[in-house]
Amino acid sequence: LAPVGTVAVNLPPLLEPELRHLVDTLPVGVLVQDATPTIRYVNPRALDLLGMTADQLLGRSILDPHWSV
């Protein structure tokens, strides 16, 4: 799977719960990585698509040569 696009977002703290709910309920998979690129967030649909748990993904690098999906 290839990324569809990259968006940098700096939201006010009050919007975070609403954004989290929106992303958690999207019908598409969303995986958020930081600049290192370590996975920092994955929504439920992404977990379904990848067949993995949050524990298996969070904190891992998407560049890990031992990880293949």
Per-residue pLDDT of the chain (69 residues; tens, 9 = 90+): 444 555 555 555 656 788 888 888 999 998 888 888 888 889 999 999 999 999 999 999 988 887 766
pLDDT for position 1: 44
Q: Measuring CA to CA, which residue among 59, 30, 66 is closest to residue 45?
A: 30
Contact 45, 27 (CB under 8 A): yes
Exposed / middle / buried, residue 38 (Cβ in 10 Å: 0-12, 13-18, 19+): middle
Strands (E), the chain: 31-33, 39-42
